[in-house]
Amino acid sequence: MTLGLVFIGIGLVWLPIRKWIAHLQYRAALEMLGRHSAFSTSESHPDEHTESDEERVRGFEVLGVFFCSVLIVGGLLIVVLTLILRPPWSGT
């Protein structure tokens, strides 16, 4: 049951900061591939970002939402199944 609560907690913490994480993931991916973009330079302005960069970052955000939902739903499933199969009042 504790594992399910940890999964839910991680998913709920990850959900509000997923945009920041998506930007970091995109910059790390660009550096690993040796490419440059408006997101990878620190002196660029937000208006200079190209549309393809924003779409790619949006893709990372959608992937983050998917993982958050998997963690939350999986955690809920673990908690519910634990309560059904081994209720805390059963003494075991």
Could you tell me if 21 and 92 are in contact, meaning their C-beta atoms sit under 8 angstroms apart? Answer: no
Residue 55 to residue 51: CA distance in whole angstroms: 6
Query: pLDDT tens digits, the chain, 92 residues: what are they?
Result: 899 999 999 999 999 998 898 899 888 888 888 876 655 455 455 545 577 888 888 988 999 999 999 999 999 999 999 988 886 676 65
Could you tell me if 30 and 39 are in contact, meaning their C-beta atoms sit under 8 angstroms apart? Answer: yes
User: What pLDDT is recorded for position 79?
Assistant: 94
CB atoms within 10 A of CB 8: 18
pTM of the model: 0.71
And the tokens for 80? 């519910």
What are the distances in angstroms from CA 1 to CA 53, 54, 78? Answer: 41, 39, 6
User: What pLDDT is recorded for position 91?
Assistant: 66
